[in-house]
Chain A
Amino acid sequence: GAGVSQSPSNKVTEKGKDVELRCDPISGHTALYWYRQSLGQGLEFLIYFQGNSAPDKSGLPSDRFSAERTGGSVSTLTIQRTQQEDSAVYLCASSLLRGGGKTQYFGPGTRLLVL
């Protein structure tokens, strides 16, 4: 497919479990972003990858959250010891060029529910 894909589309887990969320960006896009969206709300920036540069992790809410991007393509967001407040939609976006003024293409998101 030509767009950003994310998996799983839905994830239900128990409090205290670890989860991994996957993002496949658009081929050739050098920038990749993770956001969190609470029910019907705006997006909260989590982390940003650009090429081979060190990622900007300034939006990660706690050290339970981490992300990596292998080979400059696929990215995985990991949440350890999940808490109920982690329940949200996790959105991934990619863009061809760096900079917030450049178009970010979003995936459909992963809906995470922590029981």
Chain B
Amino acid sequence: TQLLEQSPQFLSIQEGENLTVYCNSSSVFSSLQWYRQEPGEGPVLLVTVVTGGEVKKLKRLTFQFGDARKDSSLHITAAQPGDTGLYLCAGAPIQGAQKLVFGQGTRLTINP
């Protein structure tokens, strides 16, 4: 069974601070996705990374896929209260890529 471990599970910081969320596995994934979920809604895709070592930027968010395609990170610069939410990483296995494997999520709270 492939697992994705996300850390930290909970993070509460002040507006303007930087933060990094990690997603780690012992398994290789063909791609990895990051989602953000707000209360009462389904997850919304933020980014997909496919190539080992790939870095993608989405405004103040920077996503990186590990060289070995086993891990990923999400870095937020100058966090804003609007960044508050549940962040989920999800990996597409090499075999059976239609069944995404989700991490347990990081609940992020940005305090004004």
Contacts and interface: CB of A to CB of B under 8 A. Distances in A.
Contact of A100 (B4, B6, B97): B97
A81 B91 CA distance: 33
Interface of A: 4, 31, 33, 35, 40-45, 48, 50, 56, 58-59, 91, 93, 98-101, 103-109
A91 B100 contact: no
Interface residues of B, number: 30
B45 interface: yes
A42 B100 contact: no
B48 A103 contact: yes
Contacts, number: 74
B21 interface: no
The 8 closest A-B pairs by CB, nearest first: A106-B42, A100-B92, A42-B102, A100-B97, A101-B31, A42-B104, A43-B102, A100-B100
Contacts of B100: 43, 45, 100, 104
A35 B35 CA distance: 14
A101 B88 contact: no
Nearest to B48: A101
30 contacts: A40-B105, A41-B104, A41-B105, A42-B6, A42-B103, A42-B105, A43-B43, A43-B88, A45-B99, A45-B100, A45-B101, A48-B98, A50-B98, A56-B98, A59-B99, A91-B42, A91-B43, A98-B98, A99-B98, A100-B30, A100-B90, A100-B91, A100-B92, A100-B97, A100-B98, A101-B30, A101-B31, A101-B33, A106-B44, A108-B41
A104 B31 CA distance: 13
A57 B31 CA distance: 22
B52 interface: no
A109 B39 CA distance: 11
B109 to A, nearest CB: 12
B107 interface: yes
Nearest to A46: B99
